[in-house]
Structure 1
């Protein structure tokens, strides 16, 4: 994975869109990484994973979330290019080392890094062709690692991938309308973000269905599956038939031979991210604006996952630029998760902006709101190194309760939470270790999390971002979050 794995050209790995983005365009206006760096080496987890896991054990960690690089498993992105056994071996070694040290792996299958071969072949997530290729890749991971991995995450932050990659052009693949601030050479900020996320949702749902049909099984089904110990063939057949019938009633289809593999007993979900948006004032227009932003950020993913369609705000404001789900697709996407991963860092104010009737459409203006970190000259919270990151623990509490009230109180794992600081390479180590801001950030956010849980939020786990400083996308190595 680009941010920390390293070994970019080793072990049979193929290039991803982020390899291309950081190598082909350094210095160009819309493709600039702050320090013109890349993730070729990053934290070098590819070579140093045993040292990393040893640190986790020493710190008392009981779980670790990491991402698999699609192009390390399938260098050309699809089965036709062959499976890279060296990649399989690396991730098996990492998973085994984690389990040996008592650390449970939480595995993310996609972290913004589309194989470049698929970007070249059919423009990646702009094409529905990627759905089957992604599902094939995911199945290899389930088959190879699923006996040891019990928590799977299909996609990390689709909103970031789609908005930054296809509306602003600041992330790979660097697409946006030429008139946007990024001045991209190709793209359409009013259509492509919605297309890419639509295909990610369908790829997610197809993959969840695959996992549940062939690999998961519930605890009850596993208990019933003791039929394999029965001596009477007829009794075994009757019990097997009963189990399958029960699953058919739930809409789960079995394929030949699937029962024997379906004993992994894992869980599968997706990661969404969002700030909490506070109305710029108590006027109805500003309150409505804050809700619209939530719909265009959080609801973009959560509404289809819980209700089977995009938020009404999006349907009304985006119109026919927002793709439709077929009835079958809607039913497949709805409820396609065992848990939701939530990434939270900051909060902002949101104020109403009148609609623009010009010829240019963009995701960045569709929600008709202005997002800002200050109101009447006062920041919503202390600003960290990034201009967008304001320390506002109350927003964490509010966001969790909003999800509880609006999305059926889904099981949640906090999959990222943290604060950044400038990477001052000249600072003495002794001074750098005085990490008071980060300590205070985590202290207050964990208290906010505890409060939300006491108020009923269904949170089952928490991951800080991050174990190590790493390649922070467009910011390169200029920020520290480790």
Structure 2
């Protein structure tokens, strides 16, 4: 009779070779862990009672003040030589009810009148200019009483590994979801001011981080966070967007101070250039359409001027800030806003040009990459070839579209060329120019999805191109239940399920497919019904702790047992934020009081930081 352990090992090896899941069929209860005590009968007795279950008080280890600041590129004064001209100006604010009549510079194509007219054309609904704050808030120290670690959960990870030297761990947020101050200090309209065209919450105020950033950074440093990932809005830096238009000096000063504040707090900044907030001028505002699976098809990336404009914007950011920022991301999840051929093609070319500027002209010494979305597609029946093919197609259409040329110097996937209207292959010169233009493969792997072919088959689905066919362009079915009818994991408030073992398999897929260090650039979990709970119950968010600790544990196993180079991981988000018209899907590891803008640490924040610090290697 075969030993079950041997059967499991053989099945696992075969599955690894085929890139498939393994289901081992067994009967009866799971085996108990091996116990070291003797199997003896218990003895019962009385003894004096005393209260001995005293709690051990532990505090978060805050970041120490830095002694040196590493440089990653030339300072602005030296980098400026890469521009023939770079003029700056300021514009001020656009307030509710204002018109351009009050401006006296109507003859200036980039003056206050021209800037204000962009907001009039944006036609904001129920616009609120400011929240509580209208100037930068000076930070105050975080009281020690807020830094006491919460009670531990009974069960936790049992791994014995440590994160390798230089592993990047931190927290992330995006400007559109936390900054507010939408039409203040020179910022011009973006796609996101038009995206929510109903009565849902808008991005006008959100967390007021634009003025509250110093306190937010202070709170992160007090918790011991080492990397803070944030985004810079294109429309703040270049309100008129295009090359040759003036740079907003107020915005330059703001983000210069933000970066310095991060460094002064003992942390390191990570900057993303574009996080969904495309300039509105690229968008046909009356033609923003959303596909249930692939996002917003007319979000502006396909505009013929987009590539040159983004490259210019990227150069402005790098010229001003690259000396102090160790890690850069060009695009966040571009597929959600560019799933048409021209849009992705523009993103691929724009990213490659920005990378070459950073490496070849600035001689940047940090890391620059791009990050993607993809809920890992796993076959519903891993023993069915058509299901495996459907999962491979789903993953390659989401990731290979960008990953093939950027990381491997390979052609766009055939599934893309055969499916998307207007698709054309890259020529040899383009492939050579794009190849190797990323230092890491950024991925936001929140969860997994169970994939099987369209009922009529993939080929028949592709042939039936119709706006009413919601399975296009993938032509696969996506489900949240496995082949036995169980959900793939514990469910959240949104699309996320706790799927740590699928996550580990995903890391192996990415590393072995695209052959670059994998950067888990976002991952997080909105606890079901959390927004409806009282504050103490929101703070004791054990399901989110389970999510984070299980995912971090699987990262360690992936590194040490699967040989995968995982560069780091960023928890999303460092605070509950605006989820594109929604505040109820709370991804944050801090609660926000929407009336007072107070922040409160959640249990999961303590748990994940403590987990990492207790398993940390050397810094580089």
Q: Fold-level match, TM-score > 0.5? A: yes
Instruction: Give the corresponding residue for 1:478.
Output: 584
Aligned equivalents of 1:430, 1:360: Cα separation in 2 = 49
* 1:348–1:390 Cα contact (<8 Å) kept: no
Contact conserved, 1:111 with 1:156, CA < 8 A, in 2?
yes
1:269 matched residue in structure 2: 369
Cα contact 1:276–1:398 (8 A) shared by 2: no
Alpha-carbon offset, residue 465 of structure 1: 0.4
Name the SS for the 1:2 alignment partner.
helix
1:377, CA displacement in angstroms?
2.5
Query: What's 1:194 paired with?
Result: 341
Give TM-score, length-normalised by structure 1.
0.78
Counterpart for residue 241 of structure 1: none
In the alignment, the residues of structure 1 paired with residue 299 and residue 377 of structure 2 have an alpha-carbon distance, to the nearest angstrom, of 33
Partners of 2:246 and 2:299 in 1: how far apart? 20
* Runs of 5+ unmatched residues, structure 2: 1-174, 286-297, 589-620
Report the counterpart of residue 331 of structure 1 in structure 2.
432
Aligned counterpart in structure 2 of residue 131 of structure 1, from 304, 307, 312: 307
1:423, 1:477 within 8 Å by CA — same for their partners in 2? no
**Which position in structure 1 is the counterpart of 2:321?**
145
The CA distance in 2 between the partners of 1:3 and 1:100, in whole Å, is: 24
2:270 alignment partner, SS class = strand
State the partner residue of 1:456. 563
Q: What corresponds to 2:489 in structure 1? A: 381
Task: Tell me how far apart the structure 2 counterparts of residues 381 and 108 of structure 1 sit (CA, whole Å).
Answer: 30
For residues 51-90 of structure 1, the aligned pairs below 5 Å read 51-90=215-254
* Matching of residue 310 in structure 1 with residue 412 in structure 2: yes
The 1:268/1:120 distance shift into structure 2, 3 A limit, reads same
Q: Quickly say closer, same or farther: Cα 1:425–1:345, change in 2 above 3 A.
A: closer
**For 1:419, what is the secondary structure of its paired residue?**
coil
Contact 1:293 1:367 in 2 (8 A): yes
- The superposition leaves residues 340-365 of structure 1 with CA deviations (integer Å, 9 ceiling, x where unpaired) of 22211101110011122335267842
Quick check: 1:293 aligned with 2:469? no
Q: Which residue of 1 aligns with 2:356?
A: 209
What's 2:40 paired with? Answer: none
* CA pair 457-7 structure 1, distance change in 2 beyond 3 A: same
Partner Cα distance (1:426, 1:458) in 2: 40
Aligned to 2:449: 348
Closer, same or farther in 2 for the Cα pair 1:424/1:459, shift >3 Å?
closer
Is the radius of gyration larger for structure 1 or structure 2? 2
Q: 1:219-238 alignment to 2 at 5 Å?
A: none
The 1:157–1:123 alpha-carbon spacing in structure 2 relative to 1, beyond 3 Å, is: closer
Matches within 5 A, 1:241-260: none
Counterpart in the other structure of 2:500? 393
How much has 1:424 moved relative to structure 2? 4.8
List per-residue Cα deviations over 1:298-343 (Å, max 9, x = no partner).
222211212332123323344x532332322221221111122221
Q: CA deviation at 1:426?
A: 4.8
> Contact 1:12 / 1:75 at 8 angstroms: preserved in 2?
yes
Distance in 2 separating the partners of 1:15 and 1:369: 36
> Are 2:379 and 2:450, in contact at CA under 8 Å, matched by a contact in 1?
yes
For 2:574 and 2:393, the matched residues in 1 are separated by: 34
Counterpart-to-counterpart distance in 2, 1:265 and 1:430: 45
Change (3 A) 1:79 1:412: same
CA contact (8 A) 1:7 1:40 kept: yes
- Counterparts of 1:424 and 1:317 in 2: how far apart (Å)? 41
8 Å contact kept, 2:301–2:338: no
Matches within 5 A, 1:11-26: 11-22=185-196, 25-26=197-198
Match for residue 360 of structure 1 among 448, 458, 466: 466
1:154 aligns with 2:301: no
Following superposition, the deviation at residue 422 of structure 1 comes to 4.5
Residue 5 (str. 1) matches residue 113 (str. 2): no
Query: Which residue of 1 is the match for residue 606 of structure 2?
Result: none
